[in-house]
Structure 1
Amino acid sequence: MDIREMRYFYAIVEAGNISNASKRLNIAQPALSRQMKQLEDSLGVQLFERGSRRIRLTEAGQLFRERAEQILGLVNGTMKEMTELNSGIGGTISLGTVTTSGATLLPNLISEFHSRYPNVTFQLWEGDGFRILELLDNGIIEIGIIRAPFDSDIYESISLPDEPLVIAMNRTKCYCGEELETIRLIELASQPLIIPLRWKDMFIEWCTNAGFKPKIVCISDGIMLNIMWTKLGIGMALVPKSTEGLISDPELNYKTIIEPAVSTQTVIVWVRNRRLSASSKHFLDLLRDKMNDAK
């Protein structure tokens, strides 16, 4: 087994099947299939379940994917460090972000950073907060943009200002509340709710303090999926207020939660005591400068 085979394997996992991976790698599909068969033979395990258009990993394949992320992350990180030592500021910044935070924060920040450091490129990953932390732990990314809470013993962080939480609801299929732009927490009693996993315990505590047990019909960290469920009238979704600007739809009404007001916080995190590339350090410095200017 060598790094090339590991990269081929990981490309297949990312692409979803061998056909798409072969196009991405510019390798003939039969040749790539043979490479994977040779990899399985050398490891003595089966990595893929056969007979499906979209690849499915076996238990051994799942474990190998995790190890491949760690190893390739280390290799790519080392290559970036060598590039920077040789040419000064350059290389690639690997960032992971949850959907709403990345969409609102990154465009202007990356644009300004690129004007200062035009030789630096970006590699962006998107997923829920748990996936972003997994990529961070495995060294695939250097910086993660997630929503609180997180483990401050493991990660260093920069916290952005609090953002109100709102309830998205379908105007005709699933609607409640007397006011157009705000809703009291108690008004959500008995309403079907769609709650992100990372806020589940906090939300239940808020509702308990308000005197009711919430009726949760779905727990999911996928903001887009939660909004789709809301449009179908399945329930009302708890989302950050920035979602309203990103997903505007005449069928939807976003109401800010009051009595009590509840909020979330976007945090930029990186692994404590792990060396950051010079490019990533400059990126964090720019972020700090922007926050200081906003005060």
Structure 2
Amino acid sequence: MTNEEIEAFLVIVESGNISNAARKLFVSQSTLSQRLKRLEDSLGVELIYRNKGQKNIELTSKGTELIPLAQRWVSIYKDIHVIKENRTRLPITIAAIALVNEFTFVPLYNEVIQEYYGLDLTINTHHSDEIYQLVANHLADIGFVYSQLQLPEVITTPIYSEKMYLITNKTSTYYDGISVKDLDSEKEIYLKWGIDYEIWHEKRWGRNKPLLKVNTGASLIKYLNEPERWSIGPISLIESSKSKNNLVYYSLEEEPPLRICYQLVSRYSKPSKVKAIQIFQKAVQIFITTNELVSNNI
């Protein structure tokens, strides 16, 4: 007894005769009759009366009894088929900072959902300290942050770096190769890009107060709308914003430290998540080696 035979029986019942049922199933009448006969043989009973010259079928008592059972069979078969089709779809949750999710990794995510069919992606945006906790508590399978913390439950690996540039409005008078000595800290829109950057920044401007402190790249961009205001940020932020915000960027004579992105995974990843994590990590490696904005030289 097969699903094909059960389906044939139900379509015959629904259609009222063999010829209509055969057209619905795109098979010949003889093929459909054979399926029905095999079903009857496997059950050891007749399901329809076969009267010569009778166009419409007439069910036997066993045929009538079989209808609800056959309907349940088909429903269960469909559920099992869904499980079978989705057996390789591995759920994976990514937690990353806004800049990674909203720009840098957008081409990667698109590539994964188009090419790596086995992954079922969920992408969430958080602050770095939250991402560490999410990974440590198995609420995210992989995290991507710009800061390095020491948590015993989390493996932190640098995966790519970006150059940092001066960002300013097109109407400003700054230029390529400008010295930090020529930048007025009172015109700065400041974002803390990490410990290395803070150390570098303090050596150049001391504890001078900037015009404004922000905590996201999106906020930083919004306040560079006036001449001579400036900030420092990674190339991914610049490329995601310059065309629609009248921004330009310049190299600095005293180069800021590279902006490093760290990948976070749990030291004790759930066995059910290991394969999905490995697939995504491989996709990340390929992406980094082919993306012009980031570098695997760390």
Q: TM-score, normalized by length of structure 1?
A: 0.58
What is the rounded CA distance, in whole Å, between the counterparts of 1:208 and 1:158 in structure 2? 27
Cα separation, partners in 2 of 1:203 and 1:106, compared to 1, 3 Å: closer
Match of 1:148 in 2: 147
Match of 2:179 in 1: 184
Q: Is the 8 A contact 1:95 1:144 kept in 2?
A: yes
Cα separation, partners in 2 of 1:232 and 1:293, compared to 1, 3 Å: closer
Note the 1:261-280 alignment, pairs <5 A: 261-275=256-270, 277=273, 278-280=275-277
Cα separation, partners in 2 of 1:167 and 1:293, compared to 1, 3 Å: closer
Note the 1:217-236 alignment, pairs <5 A: 217-231=211-225, 235-236=229-230
What is the rounded CA distance, in whole Å, between the counterparts of 1:246 and 1:293 in structure 2? 18
Match of 1:284 in 2: 281
Match of 1:64 in 2: none
Paired residue secondary structure (1:183)? coil
How many residue pairs match? The answer is: 208
Q: Is the 8 A contact 2:138 2:266 kept in 1?
A: no
Match of 2:92 in 1: 93
Paired residue secondary structure (1:226)? helix
Shift of 1:284: 1.2
Is there any run of 5+ residues in structure 1 with no aligned partner, and where? 1-82
Match of 2:238 in 1: 244
Which structure: larger Rg? 2
What is the identity, as a one-letter code, of the residue corresponding to 1:241? I
Runs of 4+ in 1 over 4 A off after TM superposition: 83-88, 232-235, 289-295
Shift of 1:119: 4.3
Match of 2:200 in 1: 206
Paired residue secondary structure (1:108)? helix
What is the rounded CA distance, in whole Å, between the counterparts of 2:143 and 2:173 in structure 1? 36
Shift of 1:192: 2.7
Deviation per residue, 1:39-68 (Å, 9 max, x gap): xxxxxxxxxxxxxxxxxxxxxxxxxxxxxx
Note the 1:72-91 alignment, pairs <5 A: 88-91=87-90
Cα separation, partners in 2 of 1:85 and 1:144, compared to 1, 3 Å: farther
Percent identity over the alignment? 12
Matched, 1:216 2:215: no
What is the identity, as a one-letter code, of the residue corresponding to 2:187? P
Q: Is the 8 A contact 1:207 1:214 kept in 2?
A: no
Q: Is the 8 A contact 2:166 2:231 kept in 1?
A: yes
Paired residue secondary structure (1:215)? coil
What is the rounded CA distance, in whole Å, between the counterparts of 1:93 and 1:87 in structure 2? 14
Shift of 1:224: 0.6
Shift of 1:293: 7.4
Q: Is the 8 A contact 1:163 1:264 kept in 2?
A: yes
Is there any run of 5+ residues in structure 2 with no aligned partner, and where? 1-81
What is the rounded CA distance, in whole Å, between the counterparts of 1:293 and 1:188 in structure 2? 35
Q: TM-score, normalized by length of structure 2?
A: 0.57
